[in-house]
Amino acid sequence: MTLLAAIAAGLLFGVGVTAVLWGLRPPLARLDRQVDAILAGQAAAVETPWRRWRDQLAAATPDLVRPDLALLGRTTQDFVVSRLLWAAGGLVTTVLVGGLVGSPPLLLPMAAIAGAVGGWVVSVQALHDRATKRRRTLALALASWTQMSALMIRAGIKDEQAMRRAAAAGDHWTFRLLTSAMDRAVANHTELWAGLDELGRQTDVAEIRQLASELRLTETAGGTPTDALLAHADALRKDELANQLSSAKAAKLKQDLVLGALGIILVLYVIYPTVRTLLDSRM
């Protein structure tokens, strides 16, 4: 089987999959309804089959990834588009690789399906990895914010005012996220710790929810949040130091394993020809 034949078979399969998806699409909106919406100045509200299909897929987005999307500032609709692109990339990659290695034509459809499913699944892991990095960044920023807030409270600024000023002092996205959460709490006439707790639940950041609980307990006891803020900042820094040490050990272990594998391969590459030569010479 030639390379061109394999690629042609994969392209024909892709066209067939596209035709099937087009046949399963939602029905087109009636033309008279679209005209009425345009005449009424609601052209943006006209739903296309693609939007309806995208919204259906977005509604089926797993709940486990919604905190990651909230932390990254993305919508479920954007995530659906990203997953479809990942799936398309997996399909095209497997078809091209299958053509390059000379796979039988009957295996290309199966490989294309596996590549599309793999891309669809890998997109979730890629999203989770990005969100994990952002959570670590947010935890570090939270330590700086809590310490700054505690110092302002000790300087004589009121508790809530100090916490909002400390968040407004930074221009990083983490400080803007904290500022937005506290602004919503003020607009809803609730305590700041309630806004922080809501932010922690939306983004699945345990450090924020823990801080909100400590602030709530401090307020209930009638105390000042200074000690709680400082203790939380110190705990966050210790956790980050432990995470960095763990990451360094894991990286070193991975490097040792790679070097060990390369050493074994090199030894086998040198020893095997020597042993084979000695055996051949004795025979």
pLDDT digits (tens, 9 = 90+) for 144-168: 888 888 888 888 888 888 888 988 8
What digits encode the pLDDT tens for the residues 22-53?
554 555 444 445 445 445 544 444 556 777 77
Angstrom distance (rounded) from CA 58 to CA 79: 8
DSSP code at position 65: G
The pLDDT of residue 43: 44
Yes or no: say if 160 and 123 are a contact pair by the CB < 8 Å rule: no
Angstrom distance (rounded) from CA 130 to CA 82: 14
pLDDT above 70 coverage of the chain, percent: 67
CA distances from residue 258 to 150, 245, 264, 266, 267 in whole angstroms, order as listed: 47, 20, 10, 12, 14
Most confident of 60-74, 89-103, 224-238, 255-269: 60-74
How does residue 10 score in pLDDT terms, banded at 50, 70 and 90? low
Angstrom distance (rounded) from CA 196 to CA 213: 9
The pLDDT of residue 53: 77
The chain-wide mean pLDDT, for the chain, equals: 76
Tokens 């993305």 identify what position? 74
Does 234 have pLDDT greater than 70?
A: no
Residue partners of 240: CB distance under 8 A and separation at least 6: 136, 139, 140, 143
Question: Crossing angle of helices 76-101/107-154, nearest 10°?
Answer: 140
Rounded to two decimals, what is the model's pTM? Answer: 0.62
The pLDDT of residue 11: 60
Q: Which long-range contacts (CB under 8 A, 24 or more apart) does 237-243 make?
A: 237/143, 239/139, 240/136, 240/139, 240/140, 240/143, 243/136
* Average confidence (pLDDT) over 108-121: 84
Helix extents (H) in the chain: 3-23, 31-39, 49-59, 66-72, 76-101, 107-154, 159-168, 173-187, 192-203, 206-221, 226-282
What are the residue boundaries of the structural domains of the chain, listed by start? Answer: 3-134, 136-238
DSSP code at position 73: T
Does 61 have pLDDT greater than 60?
A: yes
Could you tell me which of 166, 141, 167 has the C-alpha nearest to residue 236?
Answer: 141
Yes or no: say if 129 and 157 are a contact pair by the CB < 8 Å rule: no
11 vs 110, residue with greater confidence: 110
Rg, C-alpha atoms of the chain: 29
